């Protein structure tokens, strides 16, 4: 833990607002250890073409200097053949043995438990579950899933939402994000009379979603 975090001022503020990205001491140690290695790899990749060209030129002039009667045309042809063979060998050596097949999309939508400040965590999970049920009822079983961990599986869309108590009713806010581009593609807000009535609100959200989905290209 760094000193600033202990002091809690600006570092704490950034942490509070999700503007920091703390790296563990192990990662930081590895970064420091690999500093030279990464630079060496970059140098190898950037310098290689120039090095090959310089070597070729050096060999050409060496042959010329030695007085070997090789005409420029023959030399160029030989260089071209050698380059093709080397390039072929290089590609063959670097090509993967087998390309892993693209992973199939298991569920199209992953729903995160809804957040809530005015209601308990169970209400958030219940709303997410209601939305999952409504989506599966409309698009078939397996269309959506509830997120069980930090990942999104291979889902096309991620659903974030909130449920809050507001003047005698409950408001459900849903945002759908394209998981590959992080762009918000759909947003909706629905009111329901009581906490237990979130099924109908979820149904209305899915209806709106269906309207949006009908207008767009979708994987399913």
Q: What is the contact surface with other proteins in residues (CB under 8 A)?
A: 1-5, 9-14, 16-23, 27-28, 30-32, 34-35, 38-39, 41-42, 45-46, 50, 102-103, 110, 114-117, 150-156, 158, 160-164, 171, 173-175, 177, 179-182, 184, 187, 189
Which of residues 10 and 81 has its CB atom nearest to other proteins in the complex?
10
Cα separation, 147 vs 40, whole angstroms: 41
Q: What is the nearest approach in angstroms of other proteins to the Cβ of residue 3?
A: 7
Which of residues 69 and 150 has its CB atom nearest to other proteins in the complex?
150
Packing angle between helix 35-65 and helix 72-94, nearest 10 degrees? Answer: 160
Q: What is the nearest approach in angstroms of other proteins to the Cβ of residue 38?
A: 6
Which of residues 74 and 180 has its CB atom nearest to other proteins in the complex?
180
Q: What is the nearest approach in angstroms of other proteins to the Cβ of residue 138?
A: 22
Q: What are phi and psi of 178, to 5 degrees?
A: -70, 115
> How far is residue 215 CA from its own chain's centroid?
25
Which of residues 22 and 88 has its CB atom nearest to other proteins in the complex?
22
Q: Is-contact 213 205, C-beta < 8 A? A: no
Q: State the burial class of residue 168 (Cβ atoms within 10 Å of its Cβ: 0-12, 13-18, 19+).
A: exposed
Q: What is the nearest approach in angstroms of other proteins to the Cβ of residue 176?
A: 10
Q: Is-contact 150 132, C-beta < 8 A? A: no
Q: What is the nearest approach in angstroms of other proteins to the Cβ of residue 150?
A: 6
Which of residues 135 and 161 has its CB atom nearest to other proteins in the complex?
161
How many CA atoms within 13 Å lie on the side-chain side of 16? 7
């Amino acid at each position: 833990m760094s000193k600033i975090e202990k002091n809690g001022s600006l570092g704490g503020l950034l942490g509070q607002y999700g503007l920091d990205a703390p790296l563990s001491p192990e990662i930081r140690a590895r970064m420091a250890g690999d500093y030279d290695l990464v630079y060496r790899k970059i140098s190898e990749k950037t310098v290689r073409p120039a090095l090959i060209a310089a070597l070729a030129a050096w060999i050409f002039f060496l042959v010329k200097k030695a007085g070997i009667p090789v005409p420029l045309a023959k030399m160029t042809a030989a260089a071209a053949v050698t380059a093709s063979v080397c390039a072929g060998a290089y590609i063959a050596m670097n090509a993967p043995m087998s390309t892993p097949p693209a992973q199939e999309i298991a569920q199209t939508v992953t729903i995160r438990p809804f957040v809530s400040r005015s209601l308990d965590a169970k209400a958030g999970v219940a709303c997410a579950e209601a939305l999952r049920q409504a989506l599966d009822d409309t698009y078939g079983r397996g269309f959506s899933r509830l997120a069980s961990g930090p990942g999104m599986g291979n889902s096309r869309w991620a659903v974030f939402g909130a449920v809050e108590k507001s003047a005698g009713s409950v408001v459900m806010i849903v945002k759908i994000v394209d998981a590959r581009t992080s762009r918000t593609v759909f947003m909706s807000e629905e009111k329901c009379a009581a906490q237990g009535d979130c099924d109908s609100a979820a149904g209305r959200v899915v209806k709106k979603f269906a309207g949006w989905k009908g207008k767009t290209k979708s994987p399913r």
